[in-house]
């Protein structure tokens, strides 16, 4: 009888150790497969975005308007959630990250301030579909909001009060806070 109990205990312990070892292996494997950061900072502080190897870089690349609109339209109405990057809620930079990733595989930093240091500044008259629109606000009047320009002075963004929506640069709220438009490619 005592022998049977010892046998069952040793089988139980063996199973437990095997389970723990299996669990640790899965955790280590998943950490090893995690994607690396897809943007880098150069010595002068500029941030460079990850561009897929198979992407055909052209100096005057234009975002296909209909494709961009299709992607954005899927997000219209999704609620605002600070730090969010899913259909359950997105913030402004999360929305831009997700659209850019689906649009062309680019992986951007999840921060409007970091995005603002990327690409080159363009005037409103030169702005084209896919450019990023930045706004200032807050205590230090720093960059704190980003959206995607879609043409005709309109942009798509995740508004903290209305979720993902279209707005106009002509609206007084955005006109007062407008910082600049930047082109990433």
For residue 35, what pLDDT is reported?
A: 40
| Residue 116 annotated to the active site | no
Q: Are 157 and 169 in contact (CB under 8 A)?
A: no
| Residue 33 annotated to the active site | no
| β-bridge pairing 89-90 and 120-122 | unpaired
pLDDT band at 141 (very low <50, low <70, confident <90, very high): very high
Q: Angle between the 92-104 and 65-75 helix axes, to the nearest 10 degrees? A: 140
- DSSP-assigned letter for residue 110: S
pLDDT tens for each residue of 28-86: 544 443 344 454 555 555 545 555 544 444 445 566 778 999 999 999 999 999 999 99
For 124-161, letters b (16+ CB in 10 Å) and e give: eeebebbbbbbbbeeeeeebbbbbbbbeebbbbbbbee
| Residue 92 annotated to the active site | yes
Candidate list 33, 48, 116, 157, residue with the active-site label:
157
Q: Are 182 and 128 in contact (CB under 8 A)?
A: no
Average pLDDT over residues 2-13: 60
Candidate list 92, 97, 110, 116, residue with the active-site label:
92
Q: Does pLDDT of 153 surpass 90?
A: yes
Q: Does pLDDT of 184 surpass 70?
A: yes
For residue 98, what pLDDT is reported?
A: 96
């Amino acid at each position: 009888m005592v022998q049977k109990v010892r046998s069952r205990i040793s089988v139980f312990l063996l199973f437990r150790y095997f389970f723990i070892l299996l669990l640790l292996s899965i955790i280590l494997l998943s950490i090893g497969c995690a994607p690396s950061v897809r943007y880098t900072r150069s010595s002068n502080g500029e941030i460079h975005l990850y561009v897929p190897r198979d992407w055909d870089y052209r100096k005057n690349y234009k975002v296909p308007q209909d494709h961009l609109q299709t992607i954005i339209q899927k997000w219209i109405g999704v609620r605002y959630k600070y730090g969010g990057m899913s259909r359950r809620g997105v913030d402004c930079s999360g929305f831009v990250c997700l659209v850019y990733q689906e649009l062309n595989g680019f992986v951007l930093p999840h921060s409007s301030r970091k995005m603002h240091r990327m690409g080159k500044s363009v005037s409103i008259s030169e702005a084209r579909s896919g450019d990023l629109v930045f706004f200032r606000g807050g205590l230090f009047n720093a960059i704190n909001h980003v959206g995607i320009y879609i043409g005709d002075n309109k942009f798509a963004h995740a508004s903290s009060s209305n979720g993902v929506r279209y707005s106009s640069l002509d609206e007084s709220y955005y006109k007062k806070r407008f910082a600049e438009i930047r082109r990433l490619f």
